[in-house]
Amino acid sequence: MKETPGNPASNRLPPGVNDQDMIDAVSRSGYPLQVRVAAELDPQFSIVEEWGYIDRETKEPRSLDVHGYLSIVHDPASQFHPELVLLIECKRSDLPFVFFQSAVPTIPREYPSLFGFRRERFELHKSGSGYREIAPGEFLSLHDLPFIAQGPPVSRAFAKAERAGKALDLTKSLDLSGEVPYRTVLMPLASALHHWAGMRKVDGDRALYYPSLTLMLCVLDAPMVLATGRPESPELALHPWIRVVRQESYQQHVWTSYRHYVVDFVHVSHLSTFVAQEVLPFAREVSARIEQAKPFLIAGRGAVNDWDQWKWGELRPVPK
């Protein structure tokens, strides 16, 4: 193994551990993938590796692989200075991740997450029917933008392939485990999202607001397999970008409510293309809509003719 100048003689690998053992261990750890992802994003984003957050369940400090920040201000003179934030977990595996395509590929109305406004929810009025309180993403009608409307396959169940017994024993059959990716990907990202939402919470009026468009990503250095068709005759295809939607129930006062987490899984070799052709154009469109909707965002409300079928451009002031 190479040594840096001045390395002391006592700084040596112990007996029984050779260079190849260390190379194999480092390669399997996933740490080099984190470095690769950070390096690819660094020219455009402000990057923090091992970004610290507080786990929402245990309340213990933990760290996310990569936190990426980019200002997406549309008008420097505006009261709104939007930002794009990527919360990223990185996973490496020689064996595939398998995603089961959803039969009903709907995306939650509250997606994507937008924090940093004076209000967490906005009033959407309809003449003669009162109003609904909706999330910022729905208030800006972001679902009609290509990143969502023409996005990747949607999955609500995914798993990691594993071999029974020793992982390197190629004679063993493959099994699928949903527990490992749920525990090591979805839950850390959910906690990191809650932590970031708390950091971007706004109390009272401000001269400037910093709306935070926050996307959760899992970058995989592993085969990504999309499963479609019927259980007795599944069809499998390799796919570099898959959107996973998970529903979670939680207790709110005396009733049970639901929230959703949406994570884009992207193959590491597709990451640069994904960011350049999908994420950045979407972020710029979101920034432009924030600027166009400025009077409604400041007022905290707007009116439409139809709650379910309205489109961007139909939002109008609430009659006095």
Q: What is the pLDDT of residue 172?
A: 57
Answer left, alpha or beta for residue 302, where phi above 0 means left and psi between -120 and 50 means alpha. Answer: beta
- Report if residue 216 sits inside a domain: yes
User: Does the predicted TM-score (pTM) go above 0.75?
Assistant: yes
Within-domain flag for 142: yes
pLDDT over 70 (residue 183): yes
pLDDT at residue 178 is higher than 70: no
How much is the pLDDT for 12? Answer: 85
User: For residue 303, what are the β-bridge partners?
Assistant: 125, 316
Residue 282 lies in a domain: yes
Please state the domain count of the chain.
1
- Whether residue 247 is contained in a domain is answered as yes
Least confidently predicted of 52-66, 102-116, 153-167, 299-313: 153-167
The reply to whether 7 falls in a domain is no
Residue 30 has pLDDT above 70, yes or no: no
Task: Tell me, yes or no, whether 301 lies in a domain.
Answer: no
Q: Does residue 185 sit in helix, strand or coil?
A: helix
The reply to whether 308 falls in a domain is no
Residue 270 has a pLDDT of 98
Q: What is d(CA 97, CA 137) in angstroms, rounded to the nearest whole number?
A: 29
Q: Which domain holds residue 288?
A: 53-117+136-292
Instruction: Please report the pLDDT score of residue 148 as a whole number.
Output: 97
Residue 41's H or E segment, with its range, is: helix 31-41
Residue 171 has pLDDT above 50, yes or no: no
Determine the average pLDDT of the residues in 212-218: 98
44 found inside a domain:
no
Vertex 304: Cα angle to 298 and 307 (nearest 5): 115
